[in-house]
């Protein structure tokens, strides 16, 4: 499927959502993003697209190995992702994901698609990010622990047009340790 041509407003929304999730869980991922974000309000679509492309490449090459994706409402179809997310999906490239949703039979997390859709709808309807989520996920490589976050993608007038998510894989020991620590905190 051909890639959707993104407007400057859509790109600003994607980049702003990216920055929200990144700052909450991976603040060292793109050290120059805060400074660069000051130029986003007046940047052209081409400049914003180049920045997004650079951040997606850097997230793949970083030592943190953060996966990035976004979905556009109302159908919550994928609008883009980085290569690590495409790899987790078992697909050759990010372009293959554009225009499909979590229920697509090519994706390994089909049995979790309804849960993901509920999460997406919750972030979309509330306009509130869900940050530092700890959960198990099915990927092409098997079941693993992930630390994730999602934020609404907004147009300048504040309308929510989609969601952006990021996650990193955790080894089994770290996932169980973090899960146990969070459960202890929740007890009265």
Q: Quote the CA–CA distance of 151 and 39 in Å, as a whole number.
A: 21
Read off φ and ψ for residue 94, nearest 5 degrees: -60, -30
Mean pLDDT of 80-105: 95
Structure confidence at residue 2 (pLDDT): 44
pLDDT in tens, 157-186: 999 999 999 999 887 777 677 767 766 666
Confidence at residue 1, expressed as pLDDT on a 0 to 100 scale: 39
Cβ-contact 72, 165 below 8 angstroms:
no
Instruction: Tell me what the mean pLDDT of segment 32-40 comes to.
Output: 94
pLDDT digits (tens, 9 = 90+) for 106-162: 999 888 899 999 999 999 999 999 998 888 877 777 778 888 999 999 999 999 999
Q: What is the DSSP string of 29-91?
A: S-TTHHHHHTTGGG--HHHHHHHHHHHHHHHHHSTT--EEEEEETTTTEEEEE-HHHHHHTT-
User: Would the pTM of this model clear 0.75, i.e. be above it?
Assistant: yes
């Amino acid at each position: 499927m051909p890639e959707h041509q993104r407007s400057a407003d859509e790109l600003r929304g994607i980049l702003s959502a990216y920055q929200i999730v990144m700052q909450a869980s991976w603040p060292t991922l793109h050290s120059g993003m805060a400074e660069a974000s000051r130029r986003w309000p007046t940047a052209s679509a081409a400049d914003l697209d180049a920045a997004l492309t650079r951040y997606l490449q850097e997230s793949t090459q970083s030592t943190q190995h953060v996966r990035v994706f976004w979905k556009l409402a109302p159908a919550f179809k994928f609008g883009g992702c980085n290569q690590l997310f495409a790899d987790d999906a078992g697909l050759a490239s990010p372009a293959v994901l554009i225009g499909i949703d979590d229920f697509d039979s090519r994706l390994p997390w089909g049995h979790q698609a309804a849960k993901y859709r509920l999460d997406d709808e919750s972030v979309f309807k509330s306009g509130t990010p869900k940050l530092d989520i700890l959960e198990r996920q099915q990927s092409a490589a098997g079941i693993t622990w992930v630390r994730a976050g999602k934020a609404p993608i907004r147009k300048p007038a504040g309308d929510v047009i989609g969601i952006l998510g990021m996650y990193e894989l955790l080894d089994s020991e770290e996932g169980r340790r973090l899960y146990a620590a969070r459960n202890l905190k929740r007890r009265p």
